[in-house]
């Protein structure tokens, strides 16, 4: 059987100490993406980078730089506008993606009032998670659902 063709897409993951789940995340994209980049800082101490290397990811480490919050609004909008596909939660970045007509997979809290902010159209897929009991985290969003949403958008493009 012929191996699946890899898309000319780079996946960049910004991660912290994620050794307990990084392999699953990388496995979910390595069959269809041509490049995986893992961006970390010097606070990663649990072997996340070593696991990613064994999966073929390119490691970018800039210990002096915190990735979150480094772009101003104009820079962030430019990055999103030039993306083939954008993944995000219900944040300002989602609205920038919609404004720039960038295909997007978004996830939302299960809040009926959020429906007004969910993007609609062929270029967008929305996944609604569930509240994790006893935590303040959004949960029950399967990696497979995110991948299926991304593949649906990319196939329709």
Instruction: For residue range 85-142, list pLDDT tens digits in order.
Output: 898 888 888 999 999 999 999 999 888 899 999 999 999 999 998 877 777 767 778 8
Nearest C-alpha neighbor of 124 from the set 87, 76, 73, 81:
87
Question: Euclidean distance between the first and final Cα of the chain, in Å?
Answer: 27
Please say which residue of 38, 70, 102 terminates a domain.
70
Q: Does residue 130 contact residue 139 with C-beta atoms inside 8 Å?
A: yes
Note down the domain range covering 141. Answer: 71-157
The pTM of this model reads 0.66
Give 61-96 as a DSSP string: E-TT---TT-S-HHHHHHHHHT-S-EEEESSHHHHH
Same domain? For 40 and 87 the reply is no
Same domain? For 87 and 104 the reply is yes
């Amino acid at each position: 059987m012929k191996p699946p063709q890899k898309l000319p897409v780079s996946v960049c993951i910004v991660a912290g100490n994620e050794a307990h789940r990084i392999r699953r995340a990388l496995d979910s994209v390595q069959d269809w993406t041509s490049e995986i980049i893992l961006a970390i800082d010097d606070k990663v101490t649990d072997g996340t980078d070593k696991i990613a290397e064994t999966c073929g990811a390119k490691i970018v480490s800039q210990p002096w730089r915190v990735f979150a919050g480094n772009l101003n609004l104009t820079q962030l909008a430019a990055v999103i506008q030039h993306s083939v596909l954008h993944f995000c939660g219900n944040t300002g970045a989602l609205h920038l993606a919609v404004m720039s007509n960038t295909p997007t997979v978004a996830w939302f809290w299960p809040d009926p009032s959020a429906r007004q902010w969910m993007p609609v159209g062929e270029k967008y897929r929305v996944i609604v998670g569930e509240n994790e009991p006893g935590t303040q985290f959004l949960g029950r969003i399967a990696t497979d659902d995110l991948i299926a949403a991304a593949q649906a958008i990319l196939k329709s493009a």
